[in-house]
Amino acid sequence: MKKFLDRGRLTTATLILATFALPGCMVYQIDQSSLDRDVRAYQQPAPFQTESPILTPWLTPASDDLPTVEVVQSQTTQYNDMSGLNFVASILTLTLIPAVGSYDYTDTLTVAWEGETLANSSANYAVKEYMSLYFPTPMLFMGSLYDMGGLDLEDTQNTIGVIHARNIADAVARQQPLYDRVPQNDPEALANFVKSGSAPLFHPRATARIAALAPANNPMEYHQQYANLSGYINLLPLEWQAWLIGPDGLKGWQIKAALDNGEDESEMLRKVVSSYPEELAEWNRTARQTEARYREWFSHTNPALISNLLEAQSRQRAQWPYYANMTDEHHQILIESGVPDSIVVYMTNAERSSELVAAAKTGPLQDAQGRMLTEEQLLERLVRNDNNGRFMSPYTSDGVLAEWVNLANNANMGATAGSAVGAVAGAYAANKALDFVPFGLGGFVGGAVGAEVGKEVGRESAISASGGWEAIKSASDQSFDSLPNMARYLRQKYGTTANFTDAMRAATQIYPEFSSVLASTN
């Protein structure tokens, strides 16, 4: 009964009636009128299999080889406070007439497959709350709190289950004729049926039927044609799944075909690594941070929470659409069929270093002998050993600060006449206008100059104070093609040095947008 009592807030009635500190009683009672107690479920052949205890007594799979769907039951609650008339009556009678509120529940059952919602069913019911501080009126006339915890509550849940079973059976019956009109031996017609979105409860059955129609000899071309249908790949044997998992252009069969046609292995490796989605990289970074917090908080008190978290993260990571559900068994099939293991190891959703991905976008990841470059070598790939890049490095190739860094940091930027920086900073000195906030080890987030207001004027003033662009360029012997490359390289190589803050302060004066890039870079 705790879920009825623990709504986490005080209602208007509770706040007012609580001023009277005399004992009374509170009773909860299921509103018998809010559910159809005469509802009946019925037996119905189902176009899927399910392990749901609500549906299995009523929906029988039409065959044993149908896909299994996921059935999820959830509940939402809304509390309705007493009416104005009830409130007045309760106060005037000193709660002889009890205050009446209600909890309105919506119980939802969802049938899903491969992330697609196939059907929803809902059932609504209410629980009345009767409260009196002075008199046992609710107990005398509405029944005991404890009575509802037994047969009434169990009967309500049973009724809700029957409603869901009937609703899903009705949906199956309505959609059956739409599926029956599709030629069962025509894979293209079945695929168009699935793509149309009609009769979604029959999508698993139609997709399984398409897979079953594949020719016995050399079915790869057939499977390639339908591989993008939701759930199709997972219906195939492992040896065919291995070739079809992955983004377009980098599936196993496409990689093998490209290599057989003469594409360099090093170039194919570069493509696979550099294609790693930034969204997945961000998800992995967040997952790692969450894991670290859990280990800090629960490693000694509740290690099971950490284990459960890791298991949930593993399931979620596997389902990302990059190399969704690719397993070691799939990898072994590809390797045994001639795909180099140096490539196969990266056909995964597992986390990989941002330096590796960034380096892959600039060139090969192997040396002339075919050996993978070291982490240090990959890091050096991010920087140009010249000043022809778009962004100048605040460090020179021998690891000291470039001459323009001190000039930029010593400039009195806030006093620049007529500049937007001066308008923003007011009478503050340049070090205030360029204020920064530490984050993590050796990092910071840029202040006023990094803001939109006065950004461009501030940049031009910083360049002028540093001797002009030509002076900055001539004093630099390293540069970068992008700010993310610059952030990764500088933070990885110089992030723990004593002068890192000075270097970053100067860099954000010349490149105001650099502060936000640095803050988001691991």
Q: Note down pLDDT in tens along the chain; length 522 residues.
A: 334 434 434 444 444 444 443 456 777 777 767 778 788 999 999 999 999 999 999 999 999 899 999 999 998 988 887 777 877 777 778 777 788 888 888 999 999 999 899 999 999 888 888 877 777 766 555 555 444 445 567 888 889 999 999 999 999 999 999 999 999 999 999 999 999 999 999 999 999 999 999 999 889 999 999 999 999 999 999 999 999 999 999 999 999 999 999 999 889 999 999 999 989 999 998 998 999 999 989 888 888 999 999 999 999 999 999 999 999 999 999 999 999 998 999 999 998 887 788 888 878 887 777 777 777 888 888 899 999 999 999 999 999 999 999 888 886 443 333 333 233 223 223 333 333 333 333 333 344 333 444 566 667 777 888 888 998 999 999 999 999 889 989 988 998 899 999 999 999 888 988 988 888 776
The greatest distance separating any two alpha carbons of the chain, rounded to the nearest whole angstrom, comes to 93
The secondary structure element, H or E, covering residue 521 is none
> Bridge-partner residues for 71, per DSSP?
111
pLDDT at 152: 65
Q: What are phi and psi of 104, to 5 degrees?
A: -95, 120
Q: How many Å apart are CA 104 and CA 106, to the nearest integer?
A: 7
pLDDT at 429: 30
Write out the two tokens for 446. Answer: 């840029």
Q: How many Å apart are CA 497 and CA 495, to the nearest integer?
A: 6
pLDDT at 14: 46
pTM for the full predicted model: 0.67
Q: How many Å apart are CA 232 and CA 68, to the nearest integer?
A: 13
The single-letter DSSP state of residue 336 is H
pLDDT at 448: 37
Residue 92's contacts (CB-CB under 8 Å, 6 or more residues apart) are none
Q: Which of 377, 354, 353 is nearest to 365 (CA)?
A: 377
The single-letter DSSP state of residue 66 is P
pLDDT at 141: 56
Which residue do the tokens 């040896």 mark?
Answer: 239
The secondary structure element, H or E, covering residue 343 is helix 341-344
The secondary structure element, H or E, covering residue 496 is none
The single-letter DSSP state of residue 54 is T
Write out the two tokens for 251. Answer: 């599936």
Write out the two tokens for 327. Answer: 């397993």
